[in-house]
Amino acid sequence: MQEWFENSKSGTPKKLFFLIVLLGLTTLTLGCVQNFQKHQVTSSNFLNNATAGKANSTLGNSTVANLLPDGLMGMHKFVALKGKLALEFVKKSHRGPIKYVKDIALVHYLGNNSMMLVWITEYPSAEVAENQTLLMVKGMKKFGSVWESVNETSFGKLKVYYVPAKNQYFFYKGKYMIYLIPVNMDRSAVENFALKVYSILP
């Protein structure tokens, strides 16, 4: 992390813009965590509301972020949110019900003047993961606005869903769904990242 900041001191407008984006996202994440702690959401009520479908949740002992490597494409891993806090974050910014989540985490990868935000969600089974991914696509189209442009594309043999107006991608493998939000990364870099993550997932 220190090396990344030292390499970013050249003062170029591009690097300055990226640093501002990074600080903004970090502030947003920390503010969300503080808000959750302030309102003291109880574990029992939270789990009853957030894990509809009784998915045998492991949210209280979240480990799904461990599936992702500590480093990827020269970028370093930072787990921003996981388990109950991560799910509550999603619920506050998501329209529609959030169901069957067994585990979830928000991971940041930083380096090379780029960043990738990775949401990794674990569901009880591959069938549930596929269904929830397709329901997300339908929900985006129904909601409209910038989200209705979501479409199916591919990274090699990997089928992914892409929201052009937001430059966001998501796909599933087995019982896992991956949602990618790249910052300062071109499509080829995103494709490379996605394929590496796909190959890592069980």
Q: Residue 61 above 60 pLDDT?
A: yes
Q: Please give the mean pLDDT across all residues of the chain.
A: 79
Is residue 123 within 8 Å of 172, Cβ to Cβ?
no
Greater model confidence, 157 or 13: 157
Q: Is 49's pLDDT higher than 60? A: no
Q: What is the pLDDT of residue 167?
A: 96
CA 107 – CA 128 distance, rounded (Å): 22
Model confidence pTM above 0.85: no
Quick one: angle between helices 83-93 and 43-50, nearest 10?
50
Question: Which range marks the domain in which residue 183 is found?
Answer: 2-200
Whether 103 contacts 28, CB under 8 Å: no
Q: How many domains does the chain have?
A: 1
- What band does 78 get if pLDDT is binned at 50, 70 and 90? very high
A 10 A CB-CB count for 200 gives 12
